[in-house]
Amino acid sequence: MAGIDHPILLPPASLVKPDVITLSRKSNCALLWECKSGGNLDLDQLGRYRELLDCVTAKDIQRITGIQFPDPETAHVQVTYCFLQEAIPRILGFFGSEHRIPVVSLGQTTQSVAGDFYDVELNQAFRAGFVTPPVQQVPWLFVADAQTTDGELALYLLPTVVTLIVKQTERTSIIDLLGQTFLDWQCISLETRGVLKDKATRVLKDVCEAEFKEHVRYCKPGERHHDATIEVVSELMGQEASAQTRGFQKLEEQVRSAAKRLNEGRPYSPPSPTAEQGLFRFPPSD
């Protein structure tokens, strides 16, 4: 894994943004993966990838994305398309006799159905195909990109905010919070990180003034702190055991409610006193 969502400029002004870049040091080759359901094939994009293969070298890729080839002079770059199996008959014709771009079919078996990988061993493995693991058994490591909704972002970020409440961490920057939340943060391109940072700032500012008001305060960038930060003001950890448990259970409900509200684009409205009482359980659940 060498990068996620890195934009690559093709002079003078066109752009491709492979979903993932993988690098094999053994074969000194990078693969730029474009992953599609197959519902639509962007022919312009395919044209740009063909252009990339003609005019962009491994050294260019190294300079643009920061990935490091063992030997940039002799390194290879390949574009690979990956489609769901059912889309293959519909799209395969568009690739024609383009052997430089392997096409991978993703069904019960994962298999290359056109083109050749530069790496001979890899080519043999993909030509032979292998059983695709059930989606539920595929590790879920990359969870956010530029399309992540505000609600989804809240579901990932707010649990990290809960760790700060538990630790009574005084202040944390939103950048640090993102780094603690997304395992792949440093692999994500600067552009996508920028988008996520803006979204996270908007989401956290909103939730800190709404559902999480009792627990966390949003602090805009100032002289002392260059980046926006959040500050823990929660008294939850000082409460006795059963009240604390109820407080955390309520926080879970608030995270769900905030995520739903943000996805629907609704402003916060405080729960009515009766609804608030409804959150309490009797007898205490601890």
Partner 1 sequence: MAELFDQHLHNVTVHFERAEEYPAGQGPLKTYILEAHDLNGSSPSHAGMSAVLGDLEKRLNFQVEPTNDPTLVTLAKGDARYFVDFLNPRFWVVHTTANIDPAEEYLKELVRRSWNLDYAWLPSQVLGHLRRGRRFLGFNVEFDQELFISAGASEEIQEQAAVFKTRYRGNLGEELFTSLSSAAFRRDLCLSAVKYSISDSDSGAYIKNELNASGRIMATGNSISLHLGAVNHLVNLYAQMIQTLEQELSLGFARGEGGDELHGYPLTLRFSQPVIDFAGFVKEVLSCRDQTRLWGVVSHEERDFVRAEVVDLHSASRLRLDFTPTHVVVYLFRGSCGNSVARLLRIIQEHLDPTVYFELEQPSVFDQCKEA
The DSSP output letter for 87 is G
CB of 78 to partner 1, least distance (A): 15
CB of 132 to partner 1, least distance (A): 17
Can you give the binding site for partner 1, defined by CB under 8 A? Answer: 1-3, 21-23, 25, 67-70, 136-137, 139-141, 152, 155-156, 158-160, 162-164, 166-167, 169, 180-181, 183-187, 237, 241, 245, 248-249, 251-252, 255-256, 259, 285-286
Report the Cα 241 to chain-centroid distance in Å.
36
CB of 131 to partner 1, least distance (A): 17
CB of 116 or CB of 184, closer to partner 1:
184
CB of 185 or CB of 268, closer to partner 1:
185
CB of 46 or CB of 211, closer to partner 1:
211
CB of 69 or CB of 95, closer to partner 1:
69
Quick check: helix, strand or coil at residue 9?
A: strand
CB of 247 to partner 1, least distance (A): 9
Phi-psi region of 99 (alpha: psi -120 to 50; beta: other; left: phi over 0): alpha
Torsion of CA 54, 55, 56, 59, to 10 degrees: 110
Residue 28 vs residues 17, 181, 201, 255, 272: alpha-carbon distances, Å: 21, 32, 39, 45, 62
Residue 247 vs residues 11, 254, 279: alpha-carbon distances, Å: 56, 10, 10
CB of 51 or CB of 176, closer to partner 1:
176
